[in-house]
Amino acid sequence: MKIVRMQTENRTTPLGIDNTKPVFSWNVETDCPNWKQQTYRIVVQNGGAVVWDSGVAASDAMVQVPYAGHPLCAATRYTWTVEVGDGKGTAKQSSWFETGLLDAAAWQGCFIGETEENTFHLYRKEFEVPGPVKQARLYVCGLGQYVGSLNGQPLADTVLDPPWSDYRKTCFYQTYDVTAQLRAGTNAMGFKLGNGMFNLPGGRYVYFERSYGKMKLLVQLNILYTDGSTASVVTDESWQQGRSPIQFCCMYGGEDYDGRLEQPGYTLPGASTAGWEAAHQVKPPQGTLAASPLQPLRIMQRYTPVAVTQKPEGWLYDFGTNFSGWARITLARNGAPEGTAVTMVPGELLGANGLPDQRVTGQGYHWQYLLNGQAQQTFAPDFTYTGFRYLLVSGAAPLGSAGAGQPILQALTGEFIYPDIETEGSFRCSEPLFEKIHQIVCQAILSNTKSYLTDCPHRERLAWMEQTHLIAPGIMYNYGVQSLYEKMEGDILDAQHADGLIPCICPEYVAFGYHRGFVDTPEWGSAGIINPWYAYQRWGNVALLKKSYEGMKKYAAYLAGKTHHGVLHHGLGDWLDIGPNRPWAQNTPVPVTATAIYYYDLCILQKAAAILGKPEEAAAFAAQAAQVYEEFNAQFFDDQTDRYATGSQAAQAISLVTGLVPPAHHAGVVKKLRQDITNRGYAVTAGDVGHPFLITAAIQEGLSDLIYQMTLKTDVPGYGYQVANGATTLTEEWDGPDPKQPHGSQNHLMLGGIEEWFYGGLGGIRLLHSAQPFGTVEIAPFVPADMAHCAAALRHPYGMVRTAWQQEDGMVHYTIEIPPNLTAVLRLEGQPSCRVGSGVWQYTLPRRKEVEDGTVE
């Protein structure tokens, strides 16, 4: 028995947390089958002083155990030890976490920054370190975003710091351990600022113009010397500011950089500061300073071009895949005059002229670099990114093609940016098309995972809320996004209006006036209720449920005030479903999806209230849900035909999954859904909202054979169609990569519901929509007759769950692995359901024959 993966606040040895009641988690590795934890004991210490001793708790809990000791101190390292018992023996292990600056009083300096529009400066400070350093921590809030260095070395290999937020409510800072970077004597640190989402000045393409203020910087360096003395270096007017090489910077428009203005040694002691001046103290932002809760953004993958073509306008590079990030170029000046411009224009698609087509993604977006006098120089933007596959480079040429006095492009790399999160799932199967679909969906998820889940990485970069819960199963199967969901729920609570409305976009950077549904739509705003519930189901995260509960209640009350006889009539409905009148919902009436989601909200609130020890509120929500149930069926259900409203895929599926179907008609509603899909030749009609519910309904109701056939199709809009027509990321519309007329964004995650079926259908690992309690996982693989094998894996908070099956000669061979402390309910074809504990379980069972309706006998 060995304790592993000790985490505080979902991270291993986190630096600078500001939750004063952090939660602890751990796993156990053991070869003992059916292993269960019987007891745990947590001891937290500050130095040698115990600040909390949980005592021996008779519990199998090993995730989300909350701290309950003395108040934590700011900027302090704590050691915690957990001892686990299984009734036969114990194991013990230790880890640590460190608090950040827990309140405004802990900050000693002031913000410095810009005082004029469209100006950019570098900031630096020299300071003395008189003796040996035991510990040094640097706390930085740079708005909109910053790049920092200390003694000529980057603070970290992270990018686009800090996370975006509603800066009127919350401004994030980050903590760095710089102990090893300090040296005796004179030291220097420096920062470069960019606008980020804090200030959107326009000037080129901009999706919306908005400013929370001019760029500003707050820094605090806390030094603890070996003799016990302390010192701090903070931002104030003793800092210096000098002209920045950045000439233009807009998240939506690109970045211009004048290499002639570079000051490469400005973060080193003794650097020339000719032309520099005293920095200006500026007004702080409105938002409260908070420690970043996220894994940082990094350059996680790099691409080299797969093809290059000369055009009259320059050189066109193809990276072979769509991704979000930027390009990095290395240039040899080759005698070119200083100030020579090299311009990079990215694009997802090529137009009829063979050049990057930015009509959908933002016309005019580009990066421009002006050469300095160095023989070789490298450039990549610091404060803006986009989604692209192609890059047109003008002003430079590849080696062997550059003329005299023309810069030589020596190297070009595409850099894919997303958070440094764990890949927690894997899916493989014998159907190549399914593996390609899985790949393009994951590419879209990662492309749109930044400070929140964006809709697209170019045109909007906004946090549209519906996808955060509708595609949550697929995202949570694949990636370790617990911290991201906690942060996004904070964004929701920050954005929630006084009347309880949760807007469609959180942070609410922009409100569209031409359709009220872009502000107020139940299927979007309900993320504020559904996401905390999914976080509880996926990770056992009671703390988020508790933190969000009042906001969840407020939104439910807001929706209640919008109902007419228990039914909601407003919103966008099943956005981008299949039909001639896109993007508006056309196959399913808006009140059907809006009211079904509202009912789902009430059922979740009933469960949440019970978990949080509020039985009277749980009963009230149950009664409210019962009224909506009656009205929904009275107004939309035809009990003679078992159809909801139009009988669309979305209407039938969402009614089934949310629990709105009367038991006596359940089989009939399922049958009508099956008939609709088969009558359409397995073509999908559901859109943004309806399709994820179709996937879930198929898994729950034994319709996986239909999803199998639908996903194999390449001749009608859908997943197979996208792959067949060259998509390398999931597109915004089912037929987005139409070879005759590609349209919409080519990098969207909102139609990624198929991931739930890959893992929960074929792989059989049921997750968010299972009826099992947190400590139990349901395993029920679907085995198509003509698929040879499949394997899926998922990191449960207790450890890795793995399933694999292969079939040959009429037999199916299953291998199932369950981690310690978890129970599994196995539902395998040809065998009664059974419960097993941890261990590796293998079964060989005869394959059952399919009958005409797709079921088995």
Closest CA to 387 of 454, 323, 442: 323
**What percentage of the chain exceeds 70 in pLDDT?**
99
pLDDT at res. 513: 72
The overall pTM is greater than 0.85: yes
- Per residue in 109-159, pLDDT (tens digit) is 999 999 999 999 999 999 999 999 999 999 999 999 999 999 999 999 999
What the block records as the tokens of 475 is 């995202």
3-class secondary structure, 779: strand
What the block records as the tokens of 805 is 């099956």
Query: How many other CB atoms are there within 10 angstroms of residue 352's CB atom?
Result: 6
- Per residue in 563-584, pLDDT (tens digit) is 999 999 999 999 999 999 889 9
pLDDT greater than 80 at residue 854? no
**Which is more confident, 703 or 516?**
703
pLDDT greater than 60 at residue 433? yes
Residue carrying the six token digits 């603890």: 224
Under 8 Å between Cβ of 190 and 123: yes
**What's the per-residue H, E or C state across 25-82?**
EEEEECCCCCCCCCEEEEEEEECCEEEEECCCECCCCCCCEECCCCCCCCCCEEEEEE
d(CA 521, CA 511): 13
pLDDT at res. 853: 55
What's the average model confidence in pLDDT over 95-122? Answer: 96
Closest CA to 802 of 757, 846, 756, 759: 759
pLDDT greater than 90 at residue 511? no
What the block records as the tokens of 126 is 């020299």
Please name the helix (run of DSSP H) or strand (run of DSSP E) that holds residue 291, with its range, or none: strand 288-291
Residue carrying the six token digits 């019987």: 38
Whole-angstrom CA distances from 499 to 342, 507, 707 are 51, 17, 41
Q: What are phi and psi of 632, to 5 degrees?
A: -60, -50
pLDDT greater than 90 at residue 202? no
Cα angle value 237/239/245 (rounded, 5°): 125
What the block records as the tokens of 752 is 């990624």
pLDDT greater than 50 at residue 338? yes
DSSP 161: B
d(CA 79, CA 13): 10
3-class secondary structure, 751: coil
Q: Taking the CA atoms of the chain, what radius of gyration do you get in angstroms?
A: 28
pLDDT at res. 516: 87
pLDDT at res. 855: 54
What the block records as the tokens of 736 is 């987005």
What the block records as the tokens of 680 is 């359409």
Under 8 Å between Cβ of 351 and 344: no
Residue carrying the six token digits 């570079």: 262
Mean pLDDT of the chain: 96
Confidence of residue 857 (pLDDT cuts 50, 70, 90): very low
pLDDT at res. 143: 98
- Per residue in 347-402, pLDDT (tens digit) is 999 999 999 999 999 999 999 999 999 999 999 999 999 999 999 999 999 999 99
**What's the per-residue H, E or C state across 695-748?**
HHHHHHHCCHHHHHHHHHCCCCCCHHHHHHCCCCCCCCCCCCCCCCCCCCCCCC
